[in-house]
Amino acid sequence: MNIPVDEYKLYTLPNLLRRFLETYLGFNYPASTGLKNRLENLIENEEERKLVHKISDELSHNENTERVFKLYNTDEIKQAIELTFKAFERDETKKNYLLDLKKSVGLPT
């Protein structure tokens, strides 16, 4: 999947991804605690899960000025978004949700 995205907008996506995942996974898996644990319910592959967690957790918090001004690898950010979408595509029960989500933000379905 190759999603066309404005490179500048990619810098705001880690925070949006984290908020989306925390809300979605928290609602669907309330017994699990923490984003890292809840991601296990969505992404089976450990390496993919680690990348999505890194992007959605580490890059979504600007805790100091060094992090605020550092430009991160947008390829990793794109990959984390695409891995999250792929996780929804693999599960038939989540596929309709993903299609509607993509439609709501103007992405091709």
**Secondary structure class of 105 (helix, strand, coil):** coil
The amino acid at 14: P
Compute the distance between CA of residue 47 and CA of residue 83 in angstroms, rounded to an integer.
11
* DSSP 8-state assignment for residue 64: S
Residue 74 has pLDDT above 80, yes or no: yes
Residue 105 has pLDDT above 70, yes or no: yes
Stronger pLDDT, 1 or 15, i.e. the higher one: 15
**Across 22-45, average pLDDT:** 91
Contact call for residues 99 and 89 (beta carbons, < 8 A): no
Domain ranges in the chain are 7-104
